[in-house]
Chain A
Amino acid sequence: MKVRGGLAAIALLCFVGTAWAQAGGDLSVGRKMLLEDNPGELWIDKGKALFHEKRGPKKASLEQCDFGMGPGKLEGAAAKLPRYFPDVDKVQDLESRLVTCMVQLQGFKRDDVEKKAISPSRSAGSDVEALALYITSRSNGMKVNVTLSHQKEYDVYKAGEYLFYRRAGQTDFACVQCHGEANKRIRLQDLLHMTNKDGAGEVASTWPAYRGAHYVVRTMQWRLYDCFWQMRLPDLDYGSDVSIALTTYLNHSGNGTIIKVPGFKR
């Protein structure tokens, strides 16, 4: 029994280790992954380092990036996103705000950042994925609290609700066709009931998440992109207004849920 358990542990170690080695890491990292409940935890440290490192053409860190609580103030910031930002006169989600800072403060090219934002499966992950997770993790234990105090926030929220019910394409799907009832599945995959507060709360509180099937951390932008792909609609642009509107609608619907990232998805 002991031997068998040991073999299984070695097999698992090799399995995880191989995945990581392919991604350019080393075995010690794989061993560390085994000790954690959620392999996504590793991305937090990576994101933290990236946040403070002087990077990009302007050789600047992200310490002056304002996520709504003031420059560099991350505690609880993600819990209130999406929100209106006067400097861009737009409602932004965490990821679009992050890209704004990487472009303005660090001098990265927007197209480059957005193109790389969603990483290939089994890769080491993108900078944006690690940063988004680190920043959100600074709201762990806090309640989702999206307010609609600015008119643009209210407008975007209502647009998100409209889009949640907007059917299109050859499958005639809107979000609500799969996410409007409790205890539903696509094949064996459970679907969240997002017109219910708890279901919306799970959306609002568990992204970014480690996606087991992909061996990387995925973000809400990825989640939405992949849904539209499955619906047979065209490629959802990274950080698009549709994505921000849906996220505003869902996060506001999930207000009060306690944030715990990284989530863990199949």
Chain B
Amino acid sequence: MNKASLKRTLLGASAALVAGCATAPDEATTRQIAEKMVKESFIASPAHAKRLVQDKSQQICSKIGDAKLTQAEAAEVVNLARASIKYPASGKLVGDWKIGDKLAHDGAGDRIRNGKLEKRKENGGLCQNCHGLAPGEINVGNVGPALTGWGMQRGNSEAIAKYTYEKIYNAWLYFPCSNMPRLGATGHLTPEQITHLVAFLIEPESPINKK
């Protein structure tokens, strides 16, 4: 074999190596590569960049594919959720259902475009995006279960008000890692806003509980 053809053979062999032998990187390598990408892929002020950093619960709740939570992980998410919940200063968990109705139908607030924060007095509750609300209401999503008749089915006792409040504040207390955002715990909604949503869900006069 002359020098040139040897070189060709070697080149061919290394090309085959490059072309045919890619293997799945292990989990730690993938995490490292992907997290580096997250750091480098967004144009953000330091304050906005914080949104990209996962808290402990988000890390646990980012299982890939069909991977399941372990019991210990689920327990940790529940504990973190319990510790996260703050109640309104007034101690009153049931606010004004009319304000709650408006909030439930408001999908705006806190989005960032070209580095600028969406100008809003307060954030919307986002409920309509994912949940059925009043009976016959058509423009509603179905990523979450319909909330139609929530209070009609459960009543409006103190216990139900507390359960409803906590469910909105941090849904992962009851369903660790569910799709539902932890609206109070992440700061998207204030405790007072959540009391209005509680009223919207449980008050008998609320359209959500009408037939």
Interface residues of A (CB under 8 A from B): 148-151, 153-156, 158-159, 161-163, 165-174, 177-178, 181, 183-189, 191, 195, 228-230, 232-237, 240-243, 245
Question: Shortest 7 CB-CB distances between A and B: which pairs?
Answer: A234-B44, A240-B41, A242-B41, A170-B186, A159-B34, A241-B37, A154-B22
List A contacts of B34 (CB < 8 A). 158-159, 162-163, 166, 245
Q: Which residue of A lies closest to B182 (CB)?
A: A172
Interface residues of B (CB under 8 A from A): 18-25, 29-31, 33-34, 36-38, 40-44, 48-49, 51-54, 58, 61-65, 107, 110-115, 126, 128-130, 138-143, 179-182, 186-188
Evaluate whether A170 and B22 lie within 8 angstroms (CB atoms) in the complex, with A234-B48, A235-B113, A240-B41 already known.
Answer: no
List A contacts of B53 (CB < 8 A). 168
Q: How far is the CA of A177 from the CA of B179 in the complex (A)?
A: 6
List A contacts of B139 (CB < 8 A). 187-188
Q: How far is the CA of A149 from the CA of B18 in the complex (A)?
A: 7
Q: Is the interface of A mostly helix, strand, loop or mixed?
A: mixed
Evaluate whether A187 and B63 lie within 8 angstroms (CB atoms) in the complex, with A163-B34, A177-B179, A240-B42 already known.
Answer: no
List B contacts of A228 (CB < 8 A). 42
| A166 B62 Cβ-Cβ under 8 A | yes
List B contacts of A229 (CB < 8 A). 111-113
Evaluate whether A171 and B42 lie within 8 angstroms (CB atoms) in the complex, with A150-B22, A159-B33 already known.
Answer: no
Q: Which residue of B lies closest to A171 (CB)?
A: B181
Q: How far is the CA of A244 from the CA of B43 in the complex (A)?
A: 16
What are 5 sample pairs from A and B whose C-beta atoms fall under 8 A apart? Answer: A163-B38, A169-B52, A171-B188, A186-B141, A229-B113
Evaluate whether A172 and B129 lie within 8 angstroms (CB atoms) in the complex, with A150-B22, A234-B51 already known.
Answer: no
| B33 A178 Cβ-Cβ under 8 A | no
Q: How far is the CA of A184 from the CA of B145 in the complex (A)?
A: 11
List B contacts of A150 (CB < 8 A). 18-19, 22
Partner of B112, one of A155, A161, A168, A234: A234
B105 to chain A, nearest CB (A): 10
A234 to chain B, nearest CB (A): 3
List A contacts of B111 (CB < 8 A). 229-230, 232
Q: How far is the CA of A161 from the CA of B179 in the complex (A)?
A: 18
B111 to chain A, nearest CB (A): 5
| B42 A159 Cβ-Cβ under 8 A | no
Partner of A235, one of B40, B42, B65, B110: B42
